[in-house]
Structure 1
Amino acid sequence: MTFSLRTCIVLNLLSILLCVSATPVFQGNFRNVDALIEVADSLFIFEDYTRAENVYKQVLTMIGQTPNTPEYLHTLNRVARSAIEGNNLSTARNNLESADQFWQNQEELNLQRAETLKEWGIYYSRLKDYGLAQDYFNKCLELIDNCCPGGGEIIGNIYLDIGDFLLYQDDTQSEKLANQAVKNLLNSSGIKRLQLAAGYNLLGAAVRARGETELRNNYISAALAILNQFSTRPFSLSRDIFYNLGVQYIDGNEFAKAEKTFSSIINLIESKNGSARSQLPVYYALKGISLEAMHDPQASIILLQVEKHLLEQPQINHGHLGYVYQGLGRHYGHNRQSDSARFYFNRAIEQYLVDSNTHQLSELYQDQSRMELASNNLENALEKIDTALLLIDYNGEELFDQSKLIDINIDDFFNPLELKGRILRQLFEMTENEKYLFESLAIYQHIEQIAEFTRNGPYSEGTKILVSEHFYRSAEGALQTLTNLNNRSPLPEYISTAFSFMEHNRYAELVHDLSQARSFVTKGLKDSISDQNLYFTSTIQKLQMQLDNASANESILITDSLFKIRNDYNVFRNQLASDFPGEFLVRYDSMISLAQIQSRLEPDLQLFEYFWGDSDLFLVTFTRDSAILASIPIASVELSLSRLLSWMDDYLVPDSLLLSYSDFAQLANSMYNSLVAPYLLDKNQLLILADGPLAFFPFEVMITDTVPDSHFKNAPYLLKQHEIRYSYSANWLYKMRQGYALKRPHILAMSYTATHEENKFISSARQQDYKDLPFSAQEVEAIANRMKDADVTKLTGTQATKKRFLELAPNYDLIHLAVHGIGDTANALNSHLIFKNADSLESRLFAYELYDLDLKARLAILSACETGVGKAYKGEGVFSIARGFAYANIPSIVMSLWKANDQATFQIMDYFYEYLNQGVSVSKAIQMAKLEYLEVTDPHGTKPFFWAGFVPMGDISPVIEPKNKVFSVILLISALIIMITLIRYRLS
């Protein structure tokens, strides 16, 4: 039999009260006092304030003969607080005045004195004397700083209450106090864990104000997880957590979930009586806003009802009323009823002006601008968005006030700037006036500078993630503007700027991935790296701001301090670049330009960088001395790409082997003609930086000509004309550790299976059900046979464990893993390799774990399934196991794009090592291995599924020193000449 929590509390209360009634008033027995305080605390947490107050008074009676004790003063404070929450303010004041008298400057009571000061602050806040309330809170915090460094539950609740008071007034201070509250309440047990839930919920609300989306979501999830542990839940805490959850859904555009959440709150409130019901209009308004976002006709009905209710109140809440009018304006705007929309937007402006709510006003003008844009009233749209920008002090003349940017929600800049860029671009399309394109480009360049400043500046992880999420949309707008400009007047700077936006977007997503991975990592890359960088950048910025306003004498001291801190910062950056090159490159290093990368290109190389937008695919392609910017309609490639990817990946299904070559050739040739052929510049080597779903596609399978009599074996693949390689980013490729050739490499080769067994050709994909891989052991043996000059460590079967890999990998020049692999396209960080003992989680090497490694290997061959498969990000590519190895400082990687066939993989890898050992580049070795495979394999195995999945990524220069036969012959001839000369000399 089980009881609800409230039932248990009541039963416990009854038993203790019976016990108390049989006990003398006070005999030094604090066991019953402690138990009774526990019951009172429980009643207080569950908002039964009248009964809580009575039980606290019973406690005071029990310990009344010794009032000057911590227990007595704490209980007196609790009586006062219960009275405050029960709206019995006169009783509260009497008890707080008594607490003031009992304290009498006794140091041992300082903690309880701090609690009294806090309760005075709560008392005056209920009287709406916020200035006096703030004074008491300040005194409380000052006393805690001086007297109570140890922390504990009482201090945790003090921080929680003051942080809650400061929310929306001083969110930064509120967040700091909420953090302290959580730290002090972490060890709470039983129902007091609900106070910890309140701490997490407050943290979530506080960080939202500065745009910490992911961090906010984590905190709210933690609060909800604790709340869900209880069958009976406090009303106010449940309401507040669900409110934050609903706002989270609105911010994430999950309006159906938001509407459901606010409906739950409404049901919760309607089950109550009294003052709680006065909050109903707020939640009905939020429900209406959620319905409006889904274009539900019920939205206007609900919002108009809320308007009527608010106007009937004796004291109008202008903020709530403005929010309702703004929702109605959005509703009518979405329904193309522009006059009604303007009417309600104007009424919302009137309400927000009463409270001087500039943030909400800016959002409102953005809503108006979007409505005018949708109605094609572009001049009106531009006027409204300029007003929104003026409200956040953006004047367009200079980039931005960096000190302001630190304290502001990044949304306040990104959203209106991106919208203005879009309006200006559409004005050009309507008028053909080129000035709008230049103005649009200037806006997007401001956005890019903000993003770069944020990436390198004194910002938290959450802010950097938020910027990465925003930047993609802005990058696409910038590329559309630049393509328009370049089509009218081709200029190198347009192409260079387009390339910069593409690369910035890739880096923004790398920061996002790195931050996600960091949250899983428990060693190596500590948060202290970010903390140190934040210290240096913020200190430098503060000193620079002081210098701008300093006198002549002060300038000398500040300049000296700046010199010292900048020198220390350079030392830190150099050390970071040495110890954690991936961390340094993604987070703190500057970008290099198109011209710089062009100067580093090999003479026979052409680079293709793609950006997958919403409607267009953008391309920047260049050689050392030429560059092209183009846009390609996604519709021209999307269907062919989708059919090819599903077709190649479905070859494990025997029926799919019946698909004809002609169907494949038509699709693959269409891809070639759309993505490559019009832009080729007569180079042998192609470097592909793919994006979106293109990142899953091997360009080698493109068909350059539809020859009628061709078939899979002799098809005119792009592979036969070009040596093809890939990279995540041009900056990443040319700034990461460069490869070098090895004379006698140390190779770590691991195979999932210990012995080779013959099997059918199509069986044993390196993923399915973690079965043995019959050819993986043979693959490892072949490496040793091909690489005669190398030191090869072979681990097979039960020797090939994750633990052994982590122990040995840092010591090897070349790593070959013939194991199972899983690429997760939903959650990138779940992508993983599977070593032996697959039933154990310890056998799985997840992508995020690789971020914590620093490997010296020159090359990693990931001969497993889907090592290049992960979550596709528009504008950036694919996060995968392979990228994890790249981040771990390995410059060259061979990865797979789909479920690899075991026997075909063995054959291709055997040929690959044969050519690699001759000293050719990684991409050349892959190309020659695939061509030889096509040459010797029967027609059944020449379909792209079997051979096209493995591709080279990153630096592809030779890994093995070339075997210079000419030099050897010269040495031999020279030795013979010397011998003949010596013989003649002796004979003479």
Structure 2
Amino acid sequence: LGAHQYISNEDQKKEKHFRIQLFSAQQKLVDLKEFDPKHQGYTREKFEKQEAYEKFIKSLEKKYPTYYQYKYDTLIPSILDLRSQVLKKDQSFVSYFSGDKHLYFLTIDQDSASLNRMETDYKNYISELQDICVDRSILNQNYARYSELAHKLYKDLYEPLEIRTKRVIISPDDNFFPFELLLRDKNNPNSFLLEEHAFSYTYSAGYLMKSNKKRSLEMPTFLGMAPVKYQSYLQQVPLNGADLSLSNISSQFSSPALFTNEKATKQEFIQNLPRYTIVHLYSHAEADEVNAEFTIFFNDSSVQVSDLQLLGNLSTKLIVLSACKTGVGKVMKGEGVFSLARGFAAAGIPSSITSLWQIDNHSTYQINELFYKYLGKGLPLDIALQEAKMEFLRVHDKTYDLPYFWAGSILLGNSEGFLPEKGYRLLSFPNLLGVFLIVLLILSSLIYHKKFQRNKLII
């Protein structure tokens, strides 16, 4: 994504003006000797221009957080930072990056860190694997090739890491795919890596640090939107059944806010989004081919992800975007996926669940409903999604074992869960008051009993 799309034309001109002034002041000093009478004045001018430019950039951080994050915020955390602020005991972080001839992978957990390299033409294999998995009929016809590729990539990209933890955070190179669909045994079609690990994904270690904020101890609030049908000028196909699935999901929450059909408008989304912890959208989304800007469709209009920064402080900690069109899917590679994640994160939303390809509605609805069931038990987001996918595979026939149906939904960003409703109820004021009264009665009874015994001895 180009950073310029997140700043007004007026402020773009101001930034350019400040940079030109600073450059001009620096140029005056280039060929000037230190003992020249003008040197002191030009040095002071340079510092003044530098200070003015930095002050302006600081103002952009507050006014345009997305722009600032994309262009200026280049935090590179240390291994110690990741261990102390991000990784849990049962969690590993893996970062892949390519050199001229080798693939490098950095692996970090609470006990060890290692950097390794290997020669592999993995990008071509990943591209072929993606092309197979996004189409149900192609996957059916080429399942033997899928098994071969999924096992080879497991042997090349994952097995050498010797991951010992259940939870794994993947920071991929420019090629992006769900590790869950890799096969440990190419002769066993059910040896998915999904069974061993709960995966989440991040754009970079720096992005992960920014998104890894601890959840507050309060019950999550839920906002659900499903346009189902769209105004004709938007040219979007209906999502039949989305409103029913949203109703099933909302039963997990005490006071959900639901907007379906013609009520699922852009205005309702903009007005309600800032107030809810979890937001679920059953809608269509696409990236603009010119600016790679992610657009979400509502019943009457659309919203670009960068528009969210104009809403100010958001309470939203998780956004689930189920863009489930029917028919053959198309992979949203590289920046297509991450423009969505980074746009949400820059707006202050640390976690998002999205789809890498377009899968059928039936699978999307069921996996989402199962995800919220496990989320309601207090599980972390990555484990809740893993459990949802595994239950989906258990309750369906072999047809749905195809990764096309279940592997496309992935978690990006912070994987920490929420306080379950039963936990909230235990901490709620009425229950705390009840516990306090019970304790008070017990203490009063003990005090009375001791006084009675003492009076009895005196008599």
Both structures adopt the same fold (TM-score exceeding 0.5):
yes
Between the aligned partners of 2:227 and 2:70, the Cα distance in structure 1 is: 33
Decide which of 813, 818, 831 is 2:277's aligned counterpart: 813
1:917 alignment counterpart: 376
- Name the SS for the 2:183 alignment partner: coil
- Name the SS for the 2:126 alignment partner: helix
Between the aligned partners of 1:740 and 1:965, the Cα distance in structure 2 is: 13
Deviation at residue 727 of structure 1 after TM alignment: 1.0
Pair 1:514–1:571, CA change in 2 (3 A): closer
Point out the structure with the larger helix share.
1
1:355 alignment counterpart: none
Pair 1:796–1:932, CA change in 2 (3 A): same
Q: Which has the bigger relative contact order, CA under 8 A and spacing at least 6?
A: 2
The answer on whether the counterparts of 1:739 and 1:891 sit within 8 Å (CA) in structure 2 is no
1:983 alignment counterpart: 445
1:609 alignment counterpart: 95
Deviation at residue 814 of structure 1 after TM alignment: 2.7
Q: Does 1:587 align with 2:71?
A: yes
Pair 1:570–1:835, CA change in 2 (3 A): same
Between the aligned partners of 1:632 and 1:607, the Cα distance in structure 2 is: 21
Q: CA-to-partner distance for each residue in 1:319-339, whole Å, 9 max, x for gaps?
A: xxxxxxxxxxxxxxxxxxxxx
Pairing 1:926-941 to 2, within 5 Å after superposition: 926-941=385-400
2:303 alignment counterpart: 845
Pair 1:532–1:721, CA change in 2 (3 A): farther
1:210 alignment counterpart: none
Q: Does 1:702 align with 2:182?
A: yes
Deviation at residue 539 of structure 1 after TM alignment: 6.6
2:455 alignment counterpart: none
- Name the SS for the 1:609 alignment partner: strand
Point out the structure with the larger strand share.
2
Between the aligned partners of 1:667 and 1:818, the Cα distance in structure 2 is: 32
Between the aligned partners of 2:125 and 2:200, the Cα distance in structure 1 is: 22
TM-score if structure 1 supplies the norm length?
Answer: 0.39
The answer on whether the counterparts of 2:223 and 2:258 sit within 8 Å (CA) in structure 1 is yes
Q: Does 1:792 align with 2:272?
A: no
Q: CA-to-partner distance for each residue in 1:813-840, whole Å, 9 max, x for gaps?
A: 332110123356x656265333225xxx
Q: Does 1:801 align with 2:265?
A: yes
Pair 1:618–1:852, CA change in 2 (3 A): farther
The answer on whether the counterparts of 1:668 and 1:702 sit within 8 Å (CA) in structure 2 is yes
Q: Does 1:751 align with 2:209?
A: no
Pair 1:701–1:922, CA change in 2 (3 A): same
Q: CA-to-partner distance for each residue in 1:754-806, whole Å, 9 max, x for gaps?
A: 7xxxxxxxxxxxxxx73322221122212321122xx4321111121234333
Pairing 1:221-300 to 2, within 5 Å after superposition: none
Pair 1:980–1:718, CA change in 2 (3 A): same
Pairing 1:375-386 to 2, within 5 Å after superposition: none
Pair 1:795–1:848, CA change in 2 (3 A): same
Decide which of 131, 134, 141 is 1:649's aligned counterpart: 134
The answer on whether the counterparts of 2:92 and 2:167 sit within 8 Å (CA) in structure 1 is yes
1:738 alignment counterpart: 213
Between the aligned partners of 1:934 and 1:974, the Cα distance in structure 2 is: 46
Pairing 1:571-720 to 2, within 5 Å after superposition: 571-592=55-76, 594-595=78-79, 597-599=81-83, 600-602=85-87, 603-612=89-98, 616-624=102-110, 625-634=112-121, 637-638=122-123, 640-651=125-136, 653=137, 656-657=139-140, 660=143, 663-692=145-174, 694-695=175-176, 697-706=177-186, 708=187, 710-711=188-189, 715-720=190-195
Between the aligned partners of 2:72 and 2:293, the Cα distance in structure 1 is: 26
Percent identity between matched residues is: 26
Deviation at residue 674 of structure 1 after TM alignment: 0.7
The answer on whether the counterparts of 1:869 and 1:879 sit within 8 Å (CA) in structure 2 is no
2:295 alignment counterpart: 832
The answer on whether the counterparts of 1:687 and 1:724 sit within 8 Å (CA) in structure 2 is yes
- Name the SS for the 1:728 alignment partner: coil
Pair 1:964–1:846, CA change in 2 (3 A): closer
Query: 1:816 is matched by which residue type in structure 2?
Result: H
Between the aligned partners of 1:979 and 1:741, the Cα distance in structure 2 is: 32
Query: 1:835 is matched by which residue type in structure 2?
Result: F
Between the aligned partners of 1:687 and 1:915, the Cα distance in structure 2 is: 20
Pair 1:984–1:806, CA change in 2 (3 A): closer
Q: CA-to-partner distance for each residue in 1:25-62, whole Å, 9 max, x for gaps?
A: xxxxxxxxxxxxxxxxxxxxxxxxxxxxxxxxxxxxxx
Query: 2:247 is matched by which residue type in structure 1?
Result: E
The answer on whether the counterparts of 1:801 and 1:836 sit within 8 Å (CA) in structure 2 is yes
1:269 alignment counterpart: none
Q: Which runs of 5+ in 1 are unaligned?
A: 1-509, 755-768, 838-842
The answer on whether the counterparts of 1:608 and 1:687 sit within 8 Å (CA) in structure 2 is yes
Aligned residues: 435
Between the aligned partners of 1:851 and 1:964, the Cα distance in structure 2 is: 32
Deviation at residue 631 of structure 1 after TM alignment: 3.1
Pairing 1:271-420 to 2, within 5 Å after superposition: none
Query: 1:592 is matched by which residue type in structure 2?
Result: I
Query: 2:222 is matched by which residue type in structure 1?
Result: I
Pair 1:627–1:829, CA change in 2 (3 A): same
Q: What is the CA RMSD across the aligned residues, in angstroms?
A: 3.9
Q: CA-to-partner distance for each residue in 1:616-646, whole Å, 9 max, x for gaps?
A: 4443333354121313321xx3454234212
Query: 1:863 is matched by which residue type in structure 2?
Result: S
The answer on whether the counterparts of 2:286 and 2:294 sit within 8 Å (CA) in structure 1 is yes
The answer on whether the counterparts of 2:93 and 2:107 sit within 8 Å (CA) in structure 1 is yes
Between the aligned partners of 2:21 and 2:73, the Cα distance in structure 1 is: 15
The answer on whether the counterparts of 1:608 and 1:688 sit within 8 Å (CA) in structure 2 is yes
Q: Does 1:783 align with 2:252?
A: no
Deviation at residue 522 of structure 1 after TM alignment: 5.9
Q: CA-to-partner distance for each residue in 1:860-887, whole Å, 9 max, x for gaps?
A: 11111499954546xxx85543443233
The answer on whether the counterparts of 1:547 and 1:559 sit within 8 Å (CA) in structure 2 is no
Deviation at residue 607 of structure 1 after TM alignment: 2.2
Between the aligned partners of 2:103 and 2:192, the Cα distance in structure 1 is: 23
Larger Rg: 1
Pair 1:735–1:808, CA change in 2 (3 A): same
1:943 alignment counterpart: 402
Between the aligned partners of 2:236 and 2:247, the Cα distance in structure 1 is: 21
Between the aligned partners of 2:270 and 2:442, the Cα distance in structure 1 is: 56
